[in-house]
Amino acid sequence: MARAKAFYLGLGLRLTWDAPDWCYVQWPDSGEGIALLSPDYRAAGPHFAFHFNDRAEVDRIREQLQQQGHSCGPVHDHRDGTASFYMQDPEGNWLEMLYEPAAGLPSNVGAAPIPLVRA
């Protein structure tokens, strides 16, 4: 993970969250980011995430998907202030439905949150 982290930091992304098993880097101007997962990360494998501004929206979309017959994992409140659940699409691709606070992700490395700029 150190090489990947160095690569993205070298592109100009900023380190927002750093843990032994994963980290999150973001573009300073937009807040768009990527979670880098180490081989020791056990919560999920490689996946795409859809971001939501409202925590209740994650619960609502989960309920809607379940009513449509899709299998969804439970909603978890994460250590970085986000909340999400995981599921697979019909082809087996992993998806995460992720609440991200409107003010941006809190940082465990002393950086100010970067609000996500939505178009």
pLDDT per residue over 39-82, tens digit each? 888 877 788 888 898 999 999 999 999 999 999 999 999 988 89
Domain chopping of the chain, boundaries: 1-38, 45-106
State the Cα–Cα distance between residues 8 and 56, nearest whole angstrom.
32
pTM: 0.75
45-106: which CATH topology?
2,3-Dihydroxybiphenyl 1,2-Dioxygenase; domain 1 (3.10.180)
Q: What is the mean pLDDT of the chain?
A: 90
Over range 93-108, report the average pLDDT.
88
Q: Give me the sheet containing 48-52, strands edge to edge.
A: 48-52, 94-99, 83-88, 76-77
